[in-house]
Chain A
Amino acid sequence: MIERNLGLTIFCHAVLLLGAAAVCLPLYFAFVAGSLTLQEVQQTPFPWVPGTHFLDNIATAWNQGNFSRLYINSLIVTVGIVVGKLTISLIAAFAITYFRFPFRMTAFWLIFVSLMLPVEVRIIPTYEAVADAAGPLRWFADITGISWLVGSVTGYQLEAALQWNMVNTYSGLILPLIASASATFLFRQFFLTVPEELCEAARLDGAGPVKFFLDILLPLSRANIAALSIILFIYGWNQYLWPLLFTTDAEMQTAILGLKHLVPVSDAEPAWNIAMSAAFFVMLPPAVIILLMQRWFTKGLVDSGK
């Protein structure tokens, strides 16, 4: 549709430029602050031109926050979340779409219900469950008298053996975030669009369910998997509340938490230059992913919202 309307075009460009400026302004000032020395960052008025210490500040922040370790933690946790979520939701979607088994609808509704419970709502029960993962087993042993039996026969304290604490471990950081109802639904919707004939053809050729899943469904859903992994990567990398609750050991924290520790609190020395330069390398991985794979990312987001 070709149409000339100069006034409106100018207005639209102005709006978009303003929006882009509003997005860039905090980032630009963060960059300026990150390139100044401690004295320079405290001067009034605040300078508009970046200084020359950006790389120095990055190096200081990197060492001061122990980011070599935190970065690896973040990567492990993020990749764990992405792979875990994809695996679980793919398998779950496969099961509820292609199989007729007892309690299938129950399983479906259980997944559905978990959609209603973001981590923020269930922090206490989740913490309890993961901090003491063997608790239910111990309770079961206690109730049924097994622990008494074992205790009196062998003198062995079953309660002491049944301890499984995941605080400050990677599995503790990853597992509670893995279950994903929305990803399961996304794959279910997609599997429903796969033609029935494919499944029949595979069966005629003698392929079992596992072969059908691996050789036909997975290659077909490659686009969805790619789009979803981008979103999940950003989700995993940007997790804050759960790592904050669940890591007490500085060695096990994620990069986001490390950045938070560098931010000066009211009475401390205002080392904003260090914090701001750190903000840049902490947000680098998701930013790069978004810039490079924008098309996939848009598709993934709009699809998973459906």
Chain B
Amino acid sequence: MQVDPFGAREIFVGFANFAQLLGSPDYRQSVFFTLWFTVIQAVVTIALALLFAFATDFVIRGRGLYKSVILMPYAIAPVISGVLWAFLFNPAVGPLAQFIQSLGIPWDPNRRPFDAQLLVIVASVWKHICYDYIFLVAALLAVPQSLLEAAKLDGARPVRRFFTISLPLVTPTIFFLMVMNVVYGLFETFGIIDAVTRGGPAGATNTLVYKVYQDGFVQLNLGSSAAQSVILMIIAILFTVLQFRALERRVNYQV
């Protein structure tokens, strides 16, 4: 559908919106950025969460305190997380940005696309580690003690035990979390992007969801925005199916 500027007429245009979309360099840039942003964010988040979960499982003293602190970001809205990081790395007043600049590295997320992308990734990872962490700590607790003790009697050291026993047993959880991370990266980072970069500079951090909002509600190109929604919906359905496959595997492994 195409709505004329006065909203008086609607014309059915068939697949023209889709054709236009797939042909536009803006959209391709957005797809490309969304893809690598999501993948990097998902991998970094789960790696760090796994490290923290392993450490939490190992230490005895202060475990509760560490857990409470690492869980904190869950309470913080994506937008607020975005605002916090936008402040830290604000080229004019941000403390960390000043630190980076004092090292002689140029830093300005408002102008340099790569800086902006990095900042968005850091803010999203910071916000999401807690989620993966909760699940991994729970999964590691559920690893049968008898297996670990048997391995210990056989002389396996803690790191070895982690990699040969715990890790394979929590793989289904990791798989599930990977899917959840990707879903988070695709859909829930809207607030972070809006707070940190507003899709800029020059569309460098325009994820697919942010583009739907930008095109539809800011530039009022409802036709194109709706076509993008349909594409997003297909992606969402794909991931829900994947998620359920992941759940099935979780049940089968009895973790």
Contacts and interface: CB of A to CB of B under 8 A. Distances in A.
Q: Do A and B come from one complex?
A: yes
Interface of A: 1, 3, 5, 8-9, 11-13, 15-16, 19-20, 22-27, 29-30, 32-33, 41-42, 44-46, 115-118, 120-125, 234, 237-238, 240-241, 244-245, 256, 259-260, 263, 266, 270, 272, 275-276, 279, 282-283, 286-287, 289-291, 294, 297-298, 301-302, 305-306
Contacts of A33: 87, 93
Contacts of B148: 1
B47 to A, nearest CB: 12
A280 to B, nearest CB: 10
A199 to B, nearest CB: 25
State the main secondary structure of chain B at its contact with A. helix
B37 interface: no
A190 to B, nearest CB: 16
State the main secondary structure of chain A at its contact with B. helix
A28 to B, nearest CB: 10
A30 B229 CA distance: 36
B65 to A, nearest CB: 8
Contacts of B213: 123, 241, 245
Contact of A272 (B56, B70, B93, B159): B93
B126 A256 contact: no
Contact of A15 (B51, B86, B237): B51
A115 B240 contact: yes
B75 A15 contact: no
Given A272-B93, A287-B76, A124 B229 contact: yes
B236 A240 contact: no
B216 A124 contact: yes
Given A12-B58, A124-B225, A117 B79 contact: no
Contact of B78 (A32, A122, A238, A266): A238
B103 interface: no
A298 B190 contact: no
Given A3-B152, A26-B87, 4 more contacts: A8-B159, A123-B213, A298-B138, A306-B250
B75 A286 contact: yes
Contact of B80 (A13, A42, A46, A279): A279
B212 interface: yes
Nearest to B137: A298
A20 B68 CA distance: 9
A20 B70 CA distance: 6
A22 B52 CA distance: 12
Interface in B33-92: 48, 51-52, 54-56, 58-59, 62, 66-81, 83-88, 90, 92
A219 to B, nearest CB: 26
Chain B interface: which size bin? 35 or more
A123 B75 contact: no
A301 B69 contact: no
Given A46-B93, A291-B68, A121 B187 contact: yes
Contacts of A275: 83, 87
A279 B48 contact: no
A83 B40 CA distance: 37
B157 A5 contact: yes
Contact of A29 (B69, B88, B110): B88
A240 B78 contact: yes
B169 interface: no
B170 interface: no
A263 to B, nearest CB: 5
B236 A121 contact: yes
A16 B66 contact: yes
